[in-house]
Amino acid sequence: MRSRFLPLLMTLLVFILMYAFAYSRFDSFGSMRIIGNLLRDNAFWGIAAVGMTFVIISGGIDLSVGSVIAFTGVFCALMIDRNGWDPLATFVVILTIGTIFGATMGFFIHRFKIPAFIVTLSGLFLARGMAYVLSTDSIRIDHPFYEQISDLVYIFPDRGRFTFAAGAFLVVLVIGIFLAHFTRFGRNVYALGGNPDAALLLGVPVGRTTITVYALNSFLTTLAGIILSLAKHSGDSTIAVGLELDVIAAVVIGGTLLTGGVGYVIGTFIAVMTLGTIQTYLTLDGSLTPWWIKIVIGVLLFAFVGLQKLLSSRQGVFGLKRRPAIAGP
Amino acid sequence: MSTNGQEKTPLLEAQGLTKIFPSTVALSNVDFTLHAGDVHALVGENGAGKSTLIKLITGVYPKDGGTILLEGKEIEPRSPRHAQELGISTVYQEVNLIPTMSVAENIFLGRQPMRYGMIDTRATNRQAKQLLKDFGVDIDVTRNLSSFSVAIQQIIAIVRGVDLSAKVLILDEPTSSLDRQEVDMLFSVIRSLKERGIGIILITHFLDQVYEISDRITVLRNGQKVGEHLVTELPRVQLITEMLGKELTQTLDEKGTEASASRAAGKAYLRVQGYAREGMVEPFDLEIREGEIVGLAGLLGSGRTEVAHLIFGIDQHDQGEAYVRGEQTRITSPRKAIQHGFGLCPEDRKVEGIIGDLSVRENIILALQAKMGWFNYLSRQKQNALADDMIKALSIATPNAEKPVKELSGGNQQKVILARWLISNPDFLILDEPTRGIDVGAHAEIIQIIKRLAKEGKAMLIISSELAEVVDYSDRVVIMRDRKKLRELESDDINENTIMQAIAAD
């Protein structure tokens, strides 16, 4: 067995254990209904997590996720509800704005060698501030298009509902996996995170790759914001505060190394579903407050980083472990 | 093999290459010729200009004079990448690949075979496996690069470079962390590259390997070409003479008058037995008496600095014992070494020794304060007094003790480091290249200080590449080669000839 799949297997194991436990307590976890709901409820931040996986594999970080989602929601609500824009046109505009926003962050990170932490922290404040400037109130969206989307459901036999959001999530997932493993862009992202200096010498277009990674993430984050606005029928500038930290946690629990170079989009998906399962379980159980999810995330995160540390010290995943040896006589 | 390309146009020809840096001439009017299918070794001590020459050929630095011809046509490499496109690939000592990706991906990164607009992983793996097989390396190319030894990683880097249509391959210290078996494997790859008519420039400190694999040797010293020879026509002693720049003379030099016998009478201060660390230094014995100066001589990379690091506990020994004043002692960290009265002035004072932004006073106080513990704070008055004493004692040229150290000259910085150890009054001082890069006046002063310290009864171990200097102050000289202690020279045997012959001995 390949050691690089070990974190992924751990992620899968945790998911199976959690799901089996939830199923043993509530039969409903065996129904398509819960599965449909899991996909629907976690679609928006799951989409953001796919983007974050690329960022972290490239050796970076993006803290602006929650703010961009809030800004997207407020922007859509304002344009559609107050200014009467067509929803599809609004989506195109906000996706363009989001992508440019991410590309700009990537540009600063690459060109001026400013740590991604700082650049995206600025992005966090900027996007959140812009959301508040647009509106401090929650704006309701009443538009026939929003109703149509809500009605766009495929019903499984046992009342399972496969919604538009769930579909979008799965499409993003498949595209993410394809990008990561079957395109030169994807492999360049891995190379960049594995050893940036060597990547440059090996001819990886470092600047273009960095900018594309952040643009892709902000694009997906904006898409996540649209999915959330569709689900909530509103835009609210106070929403999704700190969501980036949940997203980062899911990526790490999904087996991606925070130092970059190693990770799987599918792992992130499994981690998102794991956390979703726990959330649903806590809601159904009712005896524990839902905030226990935060404690579980903390424990899992710690356990996974510990596992990574263990693996890397044993096998030198993080770098070329220079094996000293006596040179010939 | 080596005579093949003689009449044809050389593969690579550099004429009159010159590189001037603001303070020095790094390379002066150097010619270099590489024939197809030849291994051409580039040797010389630190600062000889080897890496400058390579950096001009690979476009890292723009050249200040001269021309480079590749297959008879003039080229102007602008960057390592551009050089690679022209057909000049470089493999560095530090392998520049992606440790977290598979071997196959590393070889084909950026040029993966595609199918239906997707990366064809199977074809990538198959082609990578075949490529490596052609060089006699049969490994699982789907495994991560980091799961292979440095030697295999280096071969993978070479294969990638060559597969990108290399005509010239530059190997920069490829063997410095390999064991014998791995070196053999690398050499067999190099031989098969020769057969394909690729020209190879080899930079290495290991002279045995130079003789084993190369066809020609070019010796550089102080930025100038000293000689170019067919390897079969160059005796080892002559090679070392050219590298170190000393003429071997028949008559023995007069030895520094005040050295040896008179001082060497002290008791043994430090004795180490069978000290070694796998991959760094092979087991060696060493005894240093109070008031004695032991010189540590050898070429660069011979293991001199490593000996100092082991003794001082920077790197841990995995074999052997140490006795301080006859008592067995385990020294496992620099902190312990300092507690036992050791001091070390490192080789590269900018990296390891000096904190440039702190003042002369602060730099001097540092080690003493660390030794006393941070809670036992030295009063400012005391600090000033100590610093002023040292500035006077070592005649450090600074207007006052508060000047940032980085504004002093190299020689004075060196004195500040010395002062740092002297105020904590060590019994045993290790100096690694104490006179490198400082001007002549300061040079003489440092040597005076060294001799004075020994007279005061301190045991000293001094590493130096300057043979004249070693001969001048050493009571005994330990000769290192290829990470082994070769032999020791005693008082009357110490002169530049004997040292050089000892280094070159077969």
Which residue of chain A comes nearest to B205, CA vs CA? A327
Domain membership of residue A273 (yes or no) is yes
Contact B96/A202, CB-based, under 8 Å? yes
- B505 at the A interface (CB within 8 A)? no
Minimal CA separation from B175 to chain A, in Å:
7
- Give the mean model confidence (pLDDT) for residues A72-80: 95
What is the predicted pLDDT for the residue at B439? 64
Query: Using CA atoms, how far apart are residues B485 and B298, in angstroms rounded to an integer?
Result: 9
Mutate which of B60, B90, B109 to test chain A, going by most A C-beta atoms within 10 A?
B109
Contacts of B183 in chain A (CB under 8 A): 327-328
Please answer whether residues B390 and B423 qualify as being in contact, where contact means their C-beta atoms are separated by less than 8 angstroms.
yes
Closest Cβ opposite residue B98 in set A2, A3, A198: A198
Name which residue leads in pLDDT, A97 or B451. A97
B:149-168 residues touching chain A, CB 8 A cutoff: 149-150, 153, 160
SS3 B61: coil
pLDDT of residue A187: 95
Cross-chain CB nearest to A203 (options B95, B110, B209): B110
Cβ contact B139:B145 at 8 Å? no
Contacts of B95 in chain A (CB under 8 A): 198, 320
B267 phi and psi, to 5 degrees? -75, 160
A206 within 8 A of A200, measured Cβ to Cβ:
yes
B144–A320: do the CB atoms touch at under 8 Å? Answer: no
- The pair of structure tokens assigned to B266 is 């002290």
**Nearest residue, CB atoms, B101 vs list A194, A322, A324:** A194
Cα–Cα distance for residue pair B248/B484, rounded to 1 Å: 24
Strand locations in chain A, DSSP E? 139-140, 154-155, 161-162, 234-235
Closest Cα in chain B to A195: B98
Helix (H) or strand (E) holding A268: helix A265-285
Contacts of A245 (CB under 8 A, 6+ apart): none
Q: Determine, yes or no, domain membership for A283.
A: yes
Higher pLDDT pick, A96 / B162: A96
- Which amino acid type is present at position A138? S
The CB-side HSE value for A252 (13 A sphere, CA atoms) comes to 24
CA distances from A141 to A81, A85, A232 (A): 6, 12, 9
Q: What single-letter amino acid sits at B78? A: R
Question: Is A93 within a domain?
Answer: yes
The DSSP letter of residue B264 is T
- Any domain includes A83: yes
Note whether B96 contacts A197, CB cutoff 8 Å: yes
In chain A, the residue whose alpha carbon lies closest to the alpha carbon of B281 is A326
DSSP B410-472: HHHHHHHHHHHHHHT--SEEEEESTTTT--HHHHHHHHHHHHHHHHTT-EEEEE-S-HHHHHH
Residue B384's Cα: distance from chain center in Å?
37
Interface contact flag, A326 B183, Cβ < 8 Å:
no
Which residues are within 8 A (CB) of B132 and not within 5 positions of it... i.e. 6 or more apart? Answer: B103, B107, B138, B139, B141, B155, B156, B159
In sequence order, the β-bridge partners of residue B171 are: B91, B202
In this complex, is the C-beta atom of B67 within 8 Å of any C-beta atom belonging to chain A? Answer: no
Q: State the Cα–Cα distance between residues B336 and B338, nearest whole angstrom.
A: 5
Contact (CB, 8 A) for A259 and B98: no
CATH number at residue A171: 1.10.3470
Please, what sign has the CA dihedral across residues B94, B98, B103, B107?
negative
Mean pLDDT, to the nearest integer, of A182-196? Answer: 94
B252 in contact with chain A, both atoms CB, cutoff 8 A: no
CA distance B335 to B371: 8
CA distance B105 to B97: 10
Domain that holds residue A264: 3-315
Residue A181 has pLDDT above 80, yes or no: yes
Domains contained in chain A, number: 1
Q: At what angle do helices A206-232 and A184-194 cross, to 10 degrees?
A: 110
Does B188 lie at the interface with A, CB-CB under 8 angstroms? no
B316 and chain A: CB distance < 8 Å anywhere? no
pLDDT in tens, A258-297: 889 999 999 999 999 999 999 999 888 888 887 888 898 9
| A interface with B, Cβ–Cβ below 8 Å | 2-4, 178, 181-184, 187-188, 190-191, 193-195, 197-199, 201-204, 257, 261-262, 315-329
Between the CA atoms of A81, A86, A89 and A93, what dihedral angle is there, to the nearest 10 degrees? -20
What are the residues whose beta carbons fall under 8 Å from the beta carbon of B479, sequence distance 6 or more? B297, B298, B485, B486, B487, B488, B489, B499, B502, B503
Mutate to test the interface with B, among A187, A257, A317 (most CBs of B within 10 A): A187
CA distance B132 to chain A (A): 18
Neighbours of A295 (CB within 10 A): 10
Residue A134 located in a structural domain: yes
- Give contacts of A325 with chain B, Cβ < 8 Å: 177-179, 182, 278-279
User: In chain B, which residues have their Cβ closer than 8 Å to the Cβ of A4?
Assistant: 100, 144
User: Does B2 or A182 have the greater pLDDT score?
Assistant: A182
How far apart are the CA of B339 and the nearest CA of chain A, in angstroms? 29
CA distances from B175 to A322, B299, B457, B501 (A): 12, 16, 41, 25
Question: Which residues of B, range 192-221, sit inside 8 Å of A by Cβ?
Answer: 206, 208-209
| pLDDT more than 90, % of chain A | 67
Contacts of A317 in chain B (CB under 8 A): 99-100, 144, 146
pLDDT at B141: 93
Q: In whole angstroms, what is the distance from residue B253 CA to residue B275 CA?
A: 33
Are A318 and B99 a contacting pair at CB < 8 A? yes
Domain assignment present for A329: no
Q: Residue B416 has what pLDDT?
A: 85
Residue B102 per-residue DSSP state: B
When CB atoms are compared, the residue of A197, A202, A323 closest to B149 is A323
Q: Is residue A141 part of a domain?
A: yes
Residue A314: pLDDT band (50, 70, 90) is low
Q: Indicate if ipTM > 0.95.
A: no
User: What is the pLDDT at residue A100?
Assistant: 98
B182 and A325: CB-CB below 8 Å?
A: yes
What residues contact A19, with CB distance under 8 A and at least 6 apart?
A29, A274, A277
Q: What is the per-residue pLDDT across B242-254, written as a single tens digit (0 to 9) for each?
A: 887 765 543 334 4
A327 in a domain, yes or no?
no
Distance from C-alpha of B432 to C-alpha of B298, rounded to nearest angstrom: 13
* Integer angstrom CA distances of residue B82 from B36, B39, B75, B171, B291: 21, 23, 10, 18, 57
Minimal-distance CA residue of chain B relative to A325: B279
Report, as ranges of residue numbers, the positions in chain B whose pLDDT lies below 50: 1-6, 249-264
| Block residue for tokens 């005391």 | B382
Res A19: pLDDT: 93
